[in-house]
Chains A and B, each alone.
Chain A
Amino acid sequence: ETGVTQTPRHLVMGMTNKKSLKCEQHLGHNAMYWYKQSAKKPLELMFVYSLEERVENNSVPSRFSPECPNSSHLFLHLHTLQPEDSALYLCASSQEYAGIGYEQYFGPGTRLTVT
């Protein structure tokens, strides 16, 4: 595998379920990101990890819980979601967090549907 991978690619879950999204980067990067992409809205940054430490949390509801066990893996744990949480969730990585010119490499996303 190369680049940034995400699993699963599609997920349907009920409002009372608990599920997790997984992201893995094979680029040796130090920073990883979770974004939410909803129709007709700009991408929303949810969380940022730099060297396994969370450095940004953009007022995301507590029903979303990130985890970064090492610099290559990032998880997003989901529980008691709402229908408005249905969206494409994108993972990205970059060489460093603090370099504003660094390219972010995106995964293919997980299409989440909450029923």
Chain B
Amino acid sequence: AQTVTQSQPEMSVQEAETVTLSCTYDTSESDYYLFWYKQPPSRQMILVIRQEAYKQQNATENRFSVNFQKAAKSFSLKISDSQLGDAAMYFCAYRGSNSGYALNFGKGTSLLVTP
């Protein structure tokens, strides 16, 4: 099974600042997607951003962007202009065509946003 590693159990950022959450993965597949999901306290998990492995251009969604380094198997999430509502657990996930179509999640990073 593919392994997804999030090495930062907790991160903290001040409002309006920028923070980067790290994610690395292990795979031998060439066709896969990477995702960042956000789980606010007591609320539903939602997709933040996704990246197709074949696309070299880094995905961007408003204040959220990724730094996808395919050779290094790294997929970090950058949150710009952090807001109080960004406080949540963030999960990095992998899904490949040869891995049974399962979403493989990392353990998550808890992001605290301070005023």
Q: Which residue of chain A is the closest to B6 with respect to CB atoms?
A: A42
Inter-chain CA distance A108–B46, complex, in Å, is 10
If A56-B100, A100-B96 touch, whether A108 touches B44 (CB-CB below 8 Å) is yes
Interfacial residues of chain B within 1-54, with CB under 8 A of chain A in the complex = 4, 31-33, 35, 37, 42-47, 50, 52
Q: Which residue of chain A is the closest to B3 with respect to CB atoms?
A: A42
If A100-B31, A101-B50, A106-B44 touch, whether A43 touches B91 (CB-CB below 8 Å) is yes
Q: Which residue of chain B is the closest to A101 with respect to CB atoms?
A: B33
Task: Write out the residue numbers on chain B whose beta carbons fall within 8 Å of the beta carbon of A107.
Answer: 44
Interfacial residues of chain A within 54-76, with CB under 8 A of chain B in the complex = 56, 58
Output the least CB separation between A35 and chain B (Å). 8
The contact of A100 among B43, B46, B91, B101, by CB within 8 Å, is B101
Size bin of chain A's contact surface: 20 to 34
Output the least CB separation between A59 and chain B (Å). 12
A104 and B103 contact, CB distance less than 8 A: yes
B106 and A100 contact, CB distance less than 8 A: no
Residue-wise, chain A 1-12 has the 8 Å CB interface mask toward B (1 for contact) of 001100000000
Task: Write out the residue numbers on chain B whose beta carbons fall within 8 Å of the beta carbon of A45.
Answer: 102-103
B45 and A90 contact, CB distance less than 8 A: yes
Task: Write out the residue numbers on chain A whose beta carbons fall within 8 Å of the beta carbon of B46.
Answer: 106
Task: Write out the residue numbers on chain B whose beta carbons fall within 8 Å of the beta carbon of A104.
Answer: 47, 103
B104 at interface (Cβ–Cβ under 8 A)?
A: yes
The residues of B with any CB-CB pair to A shorter than 8 Å are: 4, 31-33, 35, 37, 42-47, 50, 52, 91, 95-97, 100-108
